[in-house]
Amino acid sequence: MFEEAVILAGGFGTRLSHVLGNVPKPMAPVYGKPFLSYLIDRLADAGIKRVVLATGHKHESIQSWFGEQYRGVQIVYSREYTPLLTGGAIRQAATKLVSDTFVVLNGDTLFDIDLRKLYDFHTSRNGKLTVALREVEDTSRYGSVICRDGQITAFQEKAESQGKGYINGGIYAINRTWLMQQDLPAAFSFEKELMQPIAGEEGFLGLSFSNYFIDIGVPEDYRRAQHEFAGLFKADEFLFLDRDGVLNKHLVGDYVRNRDMWEWLPNVLPAMAQLSKRFRRILLISNQQGVGKGVMSMADLDDIHQMMLADITAAGGRIDKVYTCTDLAESGSKNRKPEIGMALQAQDDFPEVDFHYSVMVGDNVTDMQFAQKARMRAVYITKNNPVPEAVRDITDLYISDLAEFATLV
């Protein structure tokens, strides 16, 4: 079986730029988490141990999210500093591989195939390059692939192709030794400069799958993914909430020092009732340095939270536990957001909490940084204000308030 994979994650997302802003296409949020995470989830489920991400545009936002490990899969980066096109990106990434047979996925396409079946077909027929094919009703958007008895013999361009047929599904099984022996420039198109010229050659194979397929490269299919993924993939189960500005009115230049100063934001209580039905655990994570500054006591803070929890319970909602950090901003505390000490405390208290299936909702840059450090989904409450530049590359979803979030999930 494949042990290593390459994902082409350097796409600019030009056609989605008005939707995504600064977010690179593979990091486009779909159903609350980056599209790329779905691809790596599928690879992890299939037993892949190591993934090389071929990155370029906005490389740093991808690496800061996934780090060096994701769901037990080792993550390695192959960054292109000048455009290498698809072929150059694959071949550069292949230099970081150990296995001689590996799989390649496009970072903007999800084709939910049986990788074991692809591997067995490729190796049993001594394949050099095997393409996962998808039959569609109209090939005109993609161009078609002509395949007979498992052998790819020709390609038809978009203008020539129409009606039912096979398309390139964007997943390849490749023999690394063969690939590295090809006489090609540093930057080349994998499809046009490698695949098309070898059509008809022995070892250039195609295998058809009928599994779920979507390419999010165009706005209409990106929007379609938001709805379809809800029924296809595991949803987030654990909700982390900031307090001030999310549940209650944030007092600029002051602290909520007693229950008389507390003011619920509109529609928060019914939203909490909805969210309590949706999420397995709801955990409040709040910096409260007013205690550390001496402007209020811990008893004051506890009294405020007793009132808060009582109101939420009366409205049909719940918060499973409240975590606060009263340390000062300059203390360097590992518990104070954006550090994740409070999240780790929550994980100790509730061992079922998995950060990969968690979402953080907040209204501050530190909330988004906290989510990024913990590898959670990040949801930013805008309050209908412009989104700060500092959160654009680390946020998955923008909402006006908690009530809107409750309707979306």
Q: In what order do the strands lie in the sheet with 238-241?
A: 321-325, 281-287, 238-241, 358-362, 377-381, 397-399
Is 41 in the active site?
A: no
Cα angle for residues 91, 67, 323 (degrees, 5° grid): 160
Dist. CA 404–CA 409, nearest whole Å = 9
At residue 402, the pLDDT reads 96
Cα angle for residues 394, 395, 401 (degrees, 5° grid): 150
At residue 163, the pLDDT reads 86
At residue 18, the pLDDT reads 42
With H, G, I as helix, E, B as strand and everything else as coil, classify residue 92. Answer: helix
Q: 366: exposed, middle or buried (C-beta count within 10 Å: 0-12, 13-18, 19+)? A: middle
Active-site position among 108, 215, 236, 242? 242
Active-site position among 108, 236, 244, 396? 244
Ramachandran assignment for 43, one of left (phi > 0), alpha (psi -120 to 50 degrees), beta (any other): alpha
At residue 29, the pLDDT reads 79
Rg (CA), the chain: 24
Is 45 in the active site?
A: no
Residues 6+ apart with CB under 8 A from 308: 247, 248, 262, 319
Say which amino acid occupies 35: F
At residue 58, the pLDDT reads 81
Dihedrals φ, ψ of 98, to 5°? Answer: -105, -40
Q: 79: exposed, middle or buried (C-beta count within 10 Å: 0-12, 13-18, 19+)? A: middle
Dihedrals φ, ψ of 14, to 5°? Answer: -55, -45
At residue 24, the pLDDT reads 81
At residue 16, the pLDDT reads 52
Dist. CA 238–CA 402, nearest whole Å = 15
Dist. CA 243–CA 249, nearest whole Å = 9
At residue 310, the pLDDT reads 98
Cis, bond preceding 386 (omega within 30 deg of 0): no
At residue 232, the pLDDT reads 80
- pLDDT string in tens for the chain (409-residue length): 999 999 999 865 554 544 555 678 888 878 767 899 899 999 998 999 999 999 997 888 898 888 898 888 999 999 999 999 999 999 999 999 999 999 999 999 999 999 999 999 999 999 999 999 999 998 988 899 999 999 999 999 887 777 899 999 999 999 999 999 999 999 999 999 999 999 999 999 999 999 999 998 888 888 888 888 877 877 789 999 999 999 999 999 999 999 999 999 999 999 999 999 999 999 999 999 999 999 999 999 999 999 999 999 999 999 999 999 999 999 999 999 999 999 999 999 999 999 988 999 999 999 999 998 998 888 999 998 988 888 877 887 788 999 999 987 7
At residue 279, the pLDDT reads 95
